[in-house]
Copies of this chain bind each other. A is one copy, B any other.
Amino acid sequence: MEATKINDETNMGSTASKVEGGAPHGKPEKKEKERKDQKAAAKSKGEKQSQQAPKKKSGEPELIGITCKKSEDIAEWYQQVILKGEMLEFTDVPGCYVYLPGSYKIWDFIRAFFDARIQKMKVKNCYFPLFITEANLQREKDHIDGFAAEVAWVTEGGKSKLEKKLAVRPTSETAMYSYYSKKIRSHRDLPLKLNQWNNVVRWEFKHPMPFIRSREFLWQEGHTAHLTEQEASKEVREILDHYAAIYEELLAVPVVKGQKTVNEQFPGAHYTTTVEGFVPSVGRGIQAATSHCLGQHFAKMFDITVEDPNQEVKEGEKRNKLHVWQNSWGFTTRSIGVMILIHGDDKGLVIPPRVADVQVVIVPVGINAKTTDADREKLYDEVDGLRRQLEDVNVRVECDFREGYSPGWKFNDWEMKGVPLRLEFGPKDSANGVVTTSRRDQAFSKEKGTIPVTDLATQIPSLLEKIQSDMYTRASEEYASHRKVIRSWTDFVPTLNAKNVLIVPHCTGGECEDEIKKDSSGHQEGGEVDARAPSMGAKSLCIPDAQPEPIAEGTKCINPKCGKEAKMWVMFGRSY
């Protein structure tokens, strides 16, 4: 259901794909060498680091942090962050990844959040088969045209060839709508609202990128049928609001709501609405989730009809058949990648508190060679007491009692994993009746705070909420400052190259979009070409709901070659 284009020249994608193939779990030789280089690099930085961090314990395992800056090589940075942060593992199947507990837990939070909302809308969960017959898949022409290039086919079962090959679902429209045709007999069967939480496979793209663009991913796909267009449209928007809420309220990721231009909508859809995110480090948009009104297109192909209940009929007269109005909407594990790209920093992951499996880690500090066993035990008991206090108010907390590691090592380890809040507690804190706090989202500020032990139960939950809202606000302000309203073509490419997305008056025409894409890419003929500029052109991301102002009469499309009237403000940008 993602209308993702599959052949974008994505720098990140292509870099991430470096590690594809080869030995299982991302250990190809080349990568091994890179690791060693990183190790060396880390060592050379060693002295500098030790001035700030607490002393290294003798014999403690070396911890190699993120060895590259997000601003310098985001592809390498991303890969290190997700691997070292234990979010994901590579496998020996290119483009298919392991979602480790670190990321799967986030998916669980998303699932619970969204599921509660759609339950209220009377959507029911169900499960349709993974395999779809070729005949069924091909029933909607635009649909199969859109997916034919990326379908994985099962042709053998056990030791024998199947009589008819089976598609591994790339999405379930065609799997489900035969059932809809059977189930929907009367207007009384409407609305029919089903949802699946499942896995789908889209095989044929060249640049997989963990979470963002993978050959198998997890998602929910909602499929509903309604009597009227109005009802269907209302739901499309309700769902889009829920998608925006997942991003903004759970993942602390700002999004722009809008509608796709015809060029970018789901093949065969009546229209597609979308939430669009933004990755400031590279100045690119990223499609976050889409909610489609399919119109009556599939209903016609799958013969899903009811008799018109509102028609006035005379005795014996037959009622007209109406094709139902359908929606489909999907939210995928891509969201986890979006969150990582936006919030991660040079120390690793930064997880928003609401989706953090571990929200708070307590690290005992101030223990040294002179500390007696009894003193240490006393301190550990106190730390455990802090944990219980926090658990009682539903804070997800862990104590790091690991032996053989210095506090500094532990700090780095938890920072790499993105735990939102670290509490340090040593004999001095104990004497003062306080805990020392260190916010992950301010890991570079060196500022620490203290909270009286007696206030933990109230102050920690509110501090976590503060972290959550600060993360959102920061990202939101950054996104806003990179959404530039542009009225003239001369500003288009320079502003784009300054890592912005652009909101421009546009005719909403498809050919014009293609032209803009071409003319804003590094490959354009004539004009000024900046050798350092990314080669990718700008595509239309959406027609934002929040239009800067009404389009004044007589305003032309921003594309000077177009010459048509502008219809809407359209957001353009480079994009994942």
Contacts and interface: CB of A to CB of B under 8 A. Distances in A.
B150 A158 contact: yes
A149 interface: yes
Interface stretch (A38-46, A97-105, A369-377, A466-474): A97-105
A175 B198 CA distance: 19
A203 interface: yes
A166 B93 contact: yes
Per assembly, the copies of the chain total 2
Given A152-B157, A154-B168, A198-B199, A216 B131 contact: yes
Nearest to A186: B61
A129 interface: yes
Nearest to A123: B101
Interface string A489-509: 000000000000000000000
Contacts of A198: 199
B126 A104 contact: yes
Interface stretch (A132-140, A234-242, A411-419): A132-140
Given A178-B24, A182-B25, A98 B129 contact: yes
Interface string A72-90: 0000000000000000010
B153 A154 contact: yes
Contacts of A93: 129, 131-133, 166
A168 B108 CA distance: 24
Contact of A136 (B24, B135, B157): B24
26 contacts: A92-B133, A92-B136, A93-B166, A96-B131, A99-B128, A104-B124, A104-B125, A104-B127, A105-B124, A105-B125, A108-B125, A130-B168, A130-B199, A130-B216, A131-B216, A148-B159, A149-B159, A151-B157, A152-B157, A153-B155, A154-B155, A157-B203, A158-B204, A159-B204, A188-B402, A199-B199
Given A24-B178, A99-B128, A104-B124, 14 more contacts: A24-B136, A98-B127, A98-B129, A100-B126, A104-B125, A104-B127, A127-B199, A129-B216, A130-B168, A131-B201, A148-B158, A153-B155, A153-B157, A199-B199
